[in-house]
Amino acid sequence: MHKLPLHFAIWTLLALSAACAHEARVELKSQPFGQLPDGRPVELFTLSNEGGVTLQVMSYGGIVTSVKMPDRKGVEADVVLGFSSLPAYLKGHPYFGCITGRVANRIAGAHFSLEGREYRLAANNSKHHLHGGVRGFDKQLWSAVQFRDERGAGVVLTRRSVDGEESYPGNLDCEVLYRLTTDNDFEIEYTAVSDRTTLVNLTHHSYFNLGGRETGSVLDHDLMLRARRYTPVDGDGIPNGTVATVAGTPFDFSDYNRLGARIDQVEGGYDINYALDSEGRGCELAAVLLHQKSGRSVEVWTDQPGLQLYTGNFLDGTLSDGTAVYTKHAGVCLEAQRFPDAPHQPHFPTTVLRKGDVYRQRTVYKFRVR
């Protein structure tokens, strides 16, 4: 297998920036966004294109803080949940808009075995491990390099997750590329290499509300998932090891269905992994979220085998930003991923990254108006 140097993407994009800056129709600017408690500065990057999409991302956690887009009448709204200031993020939040890792989703019992060695992880979700632990990738400061190319503009975020961070083995060097294109696509490309065999499962964790973050509920959204199977879970959200058909269940979104139509049949709301029909063979359409009233939609394209549907079940109104109050079901997450608890389910797509191999993932959120 051909191995690319980890920083290949950055240097290639810098070269493209010089050659193509005059062609790009996506504006890119940066500004200070406060400081961490230890004094390190956080940057906020604003990307905007001629299609009316404006996306903001900060170097802390790789968090997408805002995505503004027009409706069919041209009225703009912010369609992701977030905050307008850094201190609100530092106080704690339910993974709004972040890079989630080193391993997204749950690992049962907060432990795993790898190459004959047992690893104990932080139990930060009852007795289980969730989204990389107490200080996962969402709570880390990333280095950022801006770029422009023939498709748009964006930011490449990099960091080293050191050997033993949150008890995971290996020094893991990560790059996450964010690009806003001239076609209103938000592209995310992940790359990682490790000097020891380890686990990796990265995802993006934006909460979408296509009516606008201040409208309070996504239960009036329609969803289509190209997934005829899902992974049933126990009361703690841990897969039971089966891959079941969605037919005849409230988890069936194989055709467009209202999020709120059957949610009362699912205890607490949706928080479930789907086995995509594409099985991770290429970057294919996985889901479409549609808000009929505004005409806004977002398509999810990914090369991952799974997608987590989460309907903001634990939002309780204690978090807010201006006129936006984040109550239960105020946003919906569509997280492209490998399956949860894969270390304990050998028949699931693996999250093991061997020493010297390259982890790659590509997911695209396409913002459209109907």
Q: Which residues are catalytic?
A: 205, 335
Structure tokens at 230: 């899902």
DSSP string, 49-104: ETTS-EEEEESBTT-EEEEEEE-TTS-EEE-B---SSHHHHHT--S-TT-EE-SB-
If we measure between CA atoms, which residue out of 232, 272, 227, 219 comes closest to residue 252? 227
What values do phi and psi take at 240, rounded to 5? -85, 0
Report CA torsion sign: 261, 265, 266, 272: negative
CA atoms within 13 A on the CB side of 35: 4
Map 314-337 to HEC letters: CCCCCEEECCEEECCCCCEEEEEE
CA distances from 134 to 86, 122, 343 (A): 19, 7, 19
Distance of CA 96 to the CA centre of its chain: 9
Residues in the chain, total: 370
Radius of gyration over every alpha carbon of the chain, rounded to an integer in angstroms:
19
User: How distant, in Å, are the alpha carbons of 131, 192, 261 from that of 4?
Assistant: 27, 10, 47
Residues 6+ apart with CB under 8 A from 1: 357, 358
* Per-residue tokens: 68: 């503004």
